[in-house]
Amino acid sequence: MFNGTLLPFQELHEVKLLHACADHKRLILQSPTGSGKTVLVTKFIDDYLDENPDTVFFWLCPGAGSLQDQSRSVFESFTAGVNTGDIYDFISEYSPAGSVYFVNWDKITKSTNVVLRDGEDKNLIEKIIECRTKQIDFFMIVDEEHLNKQAAEMYERIFDPAHILRISATTKAKDGYKETVSDDEVISAGLIASGISINENLTREATFNDNYVDDLLLLQMADEKRKEIQAEYEKRNLSIRPLVLVQFPNGSDEWIARVKAALAEMGYTEKNGLVTSWFSGDHPDHPEELSKLNGKYAFLLFKQAIATGWDCPRAKILVKLREGTTETFDIQTIGRIRRMPERHHYESELLDHCYVYTLDQKFNEGLTSNISESFYLSRYIRKPNAPDILLEREYLAESDRQAVDEEAVVKALREKMLLECDLDQNGFLSKKELELTKGFTFGLKLKTRAIEGFARTTRDLTKLKATFCGEHEINIHDDGLIIRDAKRKIAQSIGIDENISSKALAILFDASTLKIPFGIGGQMPFTEEDRELDAKYKVIKDMGHREYSAFLVNNWEILAEMLSDIDKAGIELTDTKTEVSHWSIPKMQDYKKHNGSTSGTILEKNVFAGYSTDILVQPNRSQPEINFEQWCEINDNVEWVYKNGDKGQDFFTIIYRVSFRRYNFYPDYIIRLKNGETWIIEAKGGAAADGTSANRDKYAAQKFEALKEYGEKNPGIKWCFVRNLGAQLFASNTVWDEDLSNNSVWKAIKEIIK
């Protein structure tokens, strides 16, 4: 029996979920953090069991944070007469019908599905079979469903539940009936903050500090706001101590030490009990102090992991620190500071808002990678009469990041910079030329852009824009993380090892490299050979080491874009391990199948039995891929179709090259025609409605050339690239052209594959 009371909005959504069970196996509850999801689902379970007593509920929770214990505690406090337990209780219970079991999904191994307790003598599978014989159904609740899809899918395969309810503040799942609780409903009920303030008064603070802005300034601003809120609570005779959360993206020891030192200067230390941490292996000595409204801690340092299974209604302020040049703020984390401490508003903007301080420039709703939530893997077996297509396969077994001569890198980067920026063509660059041609900025100050504004809901946050708010003079030691991050991102865009890239950049731009050891920032020191290259290739001669470091941080995006498409001509690669072997179609293969599809049409020409149109769903398949597979199915000349995998050594690959590096290329399709011809096909985006290219692969031209070269080495194999314009397909096996309207290159597919 449920002995609590739902708020009107909770009651409305609970009833709608119950009614949805009549027509849907899969249910989704998306509801903001702080909206009372656990209480709502508790009432839902109680009502469902009243009508369906021969049901066992499994409430699955992620492994971190003891969320299963918190959920069980809430459930038991709002119900009477409903048996609860854990996975071990389920196995030992003679008749588990009508019970609710709270399960940490790490309690079962993914390989054997055996309960992990020494001496446990009963297998989980046997217990499930026993329940089946007693006509007992299973209902699965997946809490924080966005965190571990694989574990949830494993449980679903084991239990084969009658219903599944996924619950989360930021659900990714799209399949099934979805019940959404809006921010506005929860705000109106007074359960969460009425608004979110981002970097309040940051521009003003920057002005007062001669435009000085860095991450540590945010700590000071957060503390000022904490004191202001504390004073208002005390004025109202409320015993509440507001808590500041300080989030580190990665939690480097160096950055954590700097923050602790800054807090100590402000009077907050672990020794005086005002600071605590929640990192891996480092949890608060007194975690109960976090949940208490008047708990002693004023600052909590943490990484992303604490965003799950953790409840602290007095948390009011979040400081998100950077460990790189640009980072994306995950809006999901804001849920930790939106709860109202006493579950009602105070009619005070100061107390009814929550506060975020961050120099991140983009806000992410945490709803990416939806594809993984709407599809599941299904295994297919090759048909007995499918052909054994044998191809020569090229596979790059090792990375090419260090497979290039350092001088070749320096020379290529220099030539690229001169080509685009050397206005007077004297073989060197001036700061003025770089400013005029590409908008480079110079000086010793790191420019900072940030968002400042107010949002009522988390969705509104994505509409806020970053503006310039300040700067600070570079400190090689204190800003080391940001400097190294800029170097890393430039190296990634070039496609080479970071040490090689960083040396090349220093040789070209850092006029002090002959005087200052290159070991600064953890990089490899200069050798005599490097010094010779420095003297030979220096392209700008008036930039000291500090200004050079600021130059990289302030301009890394420009450099990354400029240097990402260097011509590979004349750049020699040292040998890395390349495997050449015979390849044939696997005997079995996994493909992603859409969760919501129940009656897909079998594609008879596919080499795998049961392969159907359930697989041909965007974004699992691109539109040109869908069009091509459908074309093959109705084309009289096509006998067999194989969809290649896109990762690993089991699938067909050739090698393509981009300037300093090579990569494995997995062409999309291999088909066999009735005339015996074997074709290798790659499908790319065609043209949008306005005629612009819909191709999103910036290396399409390089892959085209690689497949063309493969075809020349293997004249018995046909090949082409295929693109779509609406439902029409066009193909080319001569040259690559982004312009699909170029009919001298792109021909109707029937003119190429005959």
End-to-end CA distance of the chain: 70
Cβ contact 484:522 at 8 Å: yes
Residue 151 DSSP SS3? helix
- Phi and psi at 687, nearest 5°, equal -130, 145
Give me the pLDDT at residue 370, please. Answer: 38
Report how far residue 479's alpha carbon sits from residue 499's, in angstroms, rounded to the nearest whole number. Answer: 19
Side-chain half-sphere exposure of 140, counting CA atoms within 13 A: 24
Separation CA 40–CA 2 (nearest Å): 11
The answer on 528 and 442 residing in a single domain is: yes
Residue stretches of the chain with pLDDT short of 50 = 109-121, 305, 307-308, 366-373, 515-523
Tell me the CATH number at 358: 3.40.50
User: What token pair was written down for 719?
Assistant: 């090949």
646: number of CA atoms within 13 Å, CB side?
7
User: Pick from 139, 155, 188: which residue ends a domain?
Assistant: 188
- Listed residue (530, 488, 482) closest to 506, CA to CA: 530
- Establish if 12 belongs to a structural domain: yes
Chain position carrying tokens 């290039």: 404
Does residue 28 lie in a domain region? yes
Which residues on neighbouring strands pair with residue 390, listed in sequence order?
584
User: What does residue 730 show for φ and ψ, rounded to 5 degrees?
Assistant: -125, 150
CB 633 within 8 A of CB 412: no
DSSP letter, residue 282? B
Burial state string for 4-29 with b = 16 or more CB within 10 A and e = fewer than 16: eebbebbeebbeebeebbeebebbbb
The answer to the question of residue 570 being in a domain is: no
What are the two backbone dihedrals, phi and then psi, of residue 586, each rounded to the nearest 5 degrees?
A: -60, 155
**CB-CB contact of 255 with 248 (8 Å):** yes
Same-domain status, 451 and 342: no
SS3 (DSSP) at 120: coil
Question: Which among 307, 198, 309 is positioned nearest to 245, based on CA atoms?
Answer: 307
Of the three residues 188, 211, 229, the one that is the final residue of a domain is: 188
Residue 86: inside a domain: yes
The Cα–Cα gap between 172 and 193 comes to: 24
Task: Decide: helix, strand or coil at residue 258.
Answer: helix
Q: Residue 448 is encoded by which pair of tokens? A: 């900072």
275 close to 297: Cβ distance less than 8 angstroms: yes
Which conformational region is residue 36 in: left (phi greater than 0), alpha (psi within -120 to 50 degrees), or beta?
left
568, part of any domain = no
Q: Do 181 and 199 belong to one domain?
A: no
Relative orientation angle of helices 253-265 and 480-494, to the nearest 10 degrees: 150
Alpha-carbon torsion angle 57, 62, 63, 65, nearest 10: -110
608 vs 250: CA distance, rounded Å:
44
Please indicate, yes or no, whether residues 321 and 387 belong to a single structural domain of this protein: no
429 & 520 share domain: yes
User: What are the beta bridge partners of residue 107?
Assistant: none
Tokens of 751: 């003119």
Residue 693 DSSP symbol = B
662 by Cβ neighbours in 10 Å (0-12 / 13-18 / 19+) ranks as: buried
Cis peptide before 619 (omega within 30 of 0): yes
Residues in CB range of 130: below 8 A, 6 or more apart: none
Exposure of 717 in the CB half-sphere (CA atoms within 13 A): 20
Q: Is 589 exposed, middle or buried (0-12, 13-18, 19+ CB in 10 A)?
A: buried
Tokens of 148: 């571990």
Question: Distance between CA 224 and CA 218 in Å, rounded?
Answer: 10
Q: Is the same domain home to 685 and 555?
A: no
Nearest-angstrom CA–CA distance, 747 and 309: 57
Six token digits for residue 237:
């005779």
CB-side neighbour CA atoms (13 Å) of 530: 20
Yes or no: say if 177 and 28 are a contact pair by the CB < 8 Å rule: yes
Which helix (DSSP H) or strand (DSSP E) does residue 582 occupy? strand 578-584
How, if at all, do strands 717-725 and 678-684 pair? parallel
Rounded CA-CA distance 276/284 in Å is 6
Q: What are phi and psi of 331, to 5 degrees?
A: -60, -25
DSSP letters for 435-460 = HHHH----SSEEEEEEE-EEESSHHH
596 and 532 in a single domain? The answer is no
- How many domains, the chain? 4
Q: What is the pLDDT of residue 128?
A: 86
- The span from the CA of 691 to the CA of 725, in Å, is 9
700: phi then psi, degrees, rounded to nearest 5: -60, -40
Q: Rounded to 5 degrees, what angle do the CA atoms 551, 552, 557 make?
A: 115
Among residues 532, 563, 594, which one ends one of the domains?
563
> Which is nearest to 543 in space by CA: 448, 430, 421?
430
Bridge-based pairing of strands 669-673 and 678-684 is: antiparallel
> CA 70 to CA 79: how far, in whole Å?
15
Contact indicator for 369, 171 with CB cutoff of 8 Å:
no
Asked whether residue 573 is assigned to any structural domain, the reply reads no
45 and 122 belong to one structural domain: yes
- Give the type of residue at 724: N
| Cβ 631 vs Cβ 749: under 8 Å | yes
- The C-alpha atoms of residue 249 and residue 252 are separated, in whole angstroms, by 9
Whether 49 maps to a domain, the answer reads yes
The answer on 648 and 542 residing in a single domain is no
Residue located via tokens 């030329």: 433
Looking at the fold, whether 724 and 613 belong to one and the same domain comes out as yes
Strands (E), 585-674: 588-594, 638-643, 654-658, 661-665, 669-673
What is the pLDDT at residue 212? 64
Q: What is the spatial distance between Cα 58 and Cα 102, in angstroms, rounded to a whole number?
A: 6
Please give the helix or strand (H or E) that residue 720 lies within, else none. Answer: strand 717-725
> Does residue 619 form part of some domain?
yes
Contact (Cβ atoms closer than 8 angstroms) between residue 373 and residue 172? yes
Strand, helix or coil for residue 623 = helix
Residue 576, SS3 per DSSP: coil
Residues 52 and 199 in one domain: no
Whether 718 and 680 map to the same domain: the answer is yes
Containing domain of residue 447, as a range? 406-563
